[in-house]
Structure 1
Amino acid sequence: MIPSYQYRLKPTYDQRCRMTRWLDMLRYQYNYLLTDRFDWWEMNHCSINACPLVSSIAKPREKPTYYGQKRSLVQLKEERPWYKEVHTHVLQDVVKRVNLAFQRWLKGDGNGKRSGKPRFKGKNRYRTMAFSSMPSDPVNGNRVKFPKLGEIKFIRHRPLPEGVKVKRALITKKADGWYVTLTLEDKSIPDSATLDIKTTQDNNLGIDSGWECFVAGSDGSTKEPRRFYRQAEDKLAKLQVNRDKKAEGFKPRRKLNQRIAKLHQKIARQRKQWHYELAGELLDRADVLFVEDLQGSNMTGRGQPKQDENGNYLPNRLSARSGLNKSFADAGIAEFLNEILFYQAEKAGKPVIKVNPKGTSRHCSNCLNRVPKELSDRWHNSCPHCGIELQRDVNSGILIKKVGWGIASLKNANPSKGRRSQQRTA
């Protein structure tokens, strides 16, 4: 496990100006390298049936690669001497980011999932610089030393663990100031600290997540989402209306933009703090957690247009879907299940097991028979076979626990004549 500690920096005026200038130069170089990749791609990438076989073809130039663009940094410093001010590792990180964004667009990540086309970085859109290596013992009291930047004062709200080594540092410009993220390495701690815990009836918990009940446990407990964005929505709307009344490029508009950014930052911090507290509460109640393997992109979708026989568009409840998507994003379900809960479980040495959620909302947790429901049905009504009644999310939590533990399977579950089947026969 590689922990990271984040602290708030307190740079001087000269240091702030210098770091801002660095970010601008890095952004220019990022856009230049990305343009170079796009130019080569548009000029040399074409299908086999589109290649001109009769006319002469100019010899294509060398394809921009990761190592080729890193070598170009030497020429960059000769043509633009002011780039010598930036540390070499910080410049090389720009090449790495361009290569990663381009490869994810063309080939995808390790799971084959492709990202969108990389976009150029506008002003104030390039906010982080990375130092891939740090000098030995860079932290001295309440100051941290960076290559070519010198010592910068920071708020040391918690001490660094003893015996660790600072391997990497990130300097980020946020709405309320500058922050440093220190990546630590402790060779005495193994990478996988999860203990070999034997699952029993009482030491595991199945968790179902949703918008109405953020967490519904197999023990019957539920937790509603806090809706931090919804609580600040009116205040945010007033600030945005006042911002739109101001002329662009002037100080009053910039001040309102800063207030809006700080409010968004406060909402995100409130949500993340609540997520960490909830994750710790769940891990205190069980040694093994079973959660549904949710894909955030599948939960927030856009209604497809529908047409009748005459070609007229029919209502598709797009506005209602838009509000539901906003509520899902406000809850932050995907971030909690895929990142925060796993991070806290790794620190606690407890396993979190993902379970395929297919069928967990439509089957009875007692007899495993299928009981059809609409999305608006929030209660698992009396099952035709066993007659059990409980909340829909709690029923799903129990099923997730049984499927994850291996004492039940929904592949061979018996279909039941529910409401839809009865309507067809009627």
Structure 2
Amino acid sequence: MTVAKKKFPHLRDVQSQVLQEPIRRVEAAFAARKERGFGFPRFKKFGQYRSFLFPQFKTNPVRGNKIKLPKIGEMPIVLHRPIPDGFVVKTVRVIKKHSGWYATLCLQIDVSVPEVPPVIGHAIGIDVGLEYFLSTSDGLQVERPRFFAKLQRKLKLLQRRLKRKQKGSNNRAKLIKKIGRVHEQIAAYRLDWQFKQAHKLCRLASNIFIEDIDFRIMAKGFLGKHTLDAGLGQFLNQVLPWVCFKTGTYLGKVDPNGTSQECPDCGAIVKKDLRVRVHECHECGSVKPRDIASSEVIKARGLSGIENVCGVEVAGIWETISSQLAEKQKSSEATLRSPRLIAQR
């Protein structure tokens, strides 16, 4: 870097630690390529490097509604919320988006954050999908929103216009910015809707159980477009855990294998492909929507792992009631919920 600064004097206008970050990125990219055996790092063209990092600060860079960055100086900001007392700003990443410039602050404080333990209370299982965004063991079904589909026509028209623009022109740059803002609008609508759904679920139950699924595999299939539009992985792995932590709701993950092939009432294996949307058990005669049956199985798997008052420990979550009481509670809840009322949204 010292030799490069002598050869290119304009590099001295940038803080030295900011210049070191691209080198770390390139090194990490080649190390990852060597580890997995494929995926040569892509060269960043002009305009594709959209963020840079300030890794450390001697003092707090945020002063009122301004932030002071090395070699840049004080810049006015729209402060999202004040920094709490006791927190220290460790890093600041400046990100360029189509809607403007953003600064992401990483804060540090020496405290231990305990995990939310399971509590005695109402529990629900959640099954996510594409016909319905989510189905709960209580009979609630929420229709899948189509954020991308609603604005797809607008994006299609803008991208057709982009194809006729000359590369490198100002009109092309303006159109790219306009397209990017539409994509940001879609992502903002999706995230806001998912947070609202997560808060509703946390108000319904004290314990929530979900499947431990890697949706990256599902997103590569023939339903990849709809999977990414729904944002199932974002909801289960980011939004719902964060809201559960804030509200003190326990969130547990269960084995996803065979949840849709098992009868929630008698435990029999009922084979059915993706086209079959109604669960019909040949053993006990149970008939219910497939997604609700799957959510009941998820709940049963979460509650089946009990450390009861007798000290018997099995795989699953902690519960302060015995296995017999758990079975009685399950049978009583099934009686109260019959017939089921499926709320559609």
| TM norm structure 2 | 0.83
Unaligned 5+ runs, structure 1: 1-72, 109-113, 303-320, 410-426
Aligned to 2:68: 145
- 1:182 and 2:105 equivalent? yes
How far residue 106 of structure 1 moved from its aligned partner, in angstroms, is 2.2
Distance 1:252 1:119, change over 3 A: same
AA matched with 2:269: R
Aligned-partner Cα distance in 2 for 1:141–1:361: 54
AA matched with 1:281: K
Aligned-partner Cα distance in 1 for 2:188–2:44: 25
- Verify the 8 A CA contact 1:193 1:347 in the aligned structure 2: no
Aligned-partner Cα distance in 1 for 2:196–2:297: 25
How far residue 132 of structure 1 moved from its aligned partner, in angstroms, is 0.9
AA matched with 2:29: A
- Higher CA-based Rg: 1
Paired positions, count: 307
13, 18, 21: which is aligned to 1:93?
21
Aligned to 1:385: 283
Aligned to 2:253: 354
Aligned-partner Cα distance in 1 for 2:245–2:15: 34
- 1:193 and 2:91 equivalent? no
Aligned-partner Cα distance in 2 for 1:117–1:205: 44
Aligned to 2:12: 84
- Please report the RMSD computed on the Cα atoms of aligned residues, expressed in angstroms: 2.1
Aligned to 1:338: 237
- 1:208 and 2:136 equivalent? no
AA matched with 2:232: I
- Verify the 8 A CA contact 2:202 2:244 in the aligned structure 1: yes
| TM norm structure 1 | 0.68
AA matched with 2:14: V
- 1:170 and 2:98 equivalent? no
AA matched with 1:257: I
Encode CA deviations 1:64-90: one digit per residue, 9 max, x unaligned: xxxxxxxxx233223323212211221
How far residue 172 of structure 1 moved from its aligned partner, in angstroms, is 0.3
AA matched with 2:202: L
AA matched with 1:255: K
Q: How does 1:254-273 map to 2 (within 5 A)?
A: 254-273=173-192
Distance 1:279 1:117, change over 3 A: farther
- DSSP 3-state at the match of 1:173: strand
Q: How does 1:7-406 map to 2 (within 5 A)?
A: 73-107=1-35, 116-187=39-110, 189-190=111-112, 192-198=113-119, 200=120, 202-302=121-221, 321=222, 324-381=223-280, 383-406=281-304
AA matched with 1:337: L
- Verify the 8 A CA contact 1:134 1:146 in the aligned structure 2: no
AA matched with 1:156: L
Aligned-partner Cα distance in 2 for 1:98–1:247: 31
- Verify the 8 A CA contact 2:165 2:172 in the aligned structure 1: yes
- Verify the 8 A CA contact 2:116 2:245 in the aligned structure 1: no
Aligned-partner Cα distance in 1 for 2:165–2:25: 36
AA matched with 2:247: A
Unaligned 5+ runs, structure 2: 307-313, 315-345
AA matched with 1:77: K
- DSSP 3-state at the match of 1:301: coil
- Verify the 8 A CA contact 1:127 1:172 in the aligned structure 2: yes
AA matched with 2:172: R
How far residue 144 of structure 1 moved from its aligned partner, in angstroms, is 0.6
How far residue 328 of structure 1 moved from its aligned partner, in angstroms, is 0.8
- Verify the 8 A CA contact 1:193 1:346 in the aligned structure 2: no
Distance 1:91 1:348, change over 3 A: farther
Aligned-partner Cα distance in 2 for 1:98–1:342: 32
Encode CA deviations 1:125-149: one digit per residue, 9 max, x unaligned: 1101011112312111110111111
How far residue 367 of structure 1 moved from its aligned partner, in angstroms, is 0.9
How far residue 407 of structure 1 moved from its aligned partner, in angstroms, is 5.6
Aligned-partner Cα distance in 2 for 1:298–1:150: 45
- DSSP 3-state at the match of 1:240: helix
Distance 1:88 1:349, change over 3 A: farther
- Verify the 8 A CA contact 2:128 2:232 in the aligned structure 1: yes
Distance 1:120 1:168, change over 3 A: same
Counting aligned pairs with the same residue, the percent is 36
AA matched with 1:401: K
How far residue 272 of structure 1 moved from its aligned partner, in angstroms, is 1.3
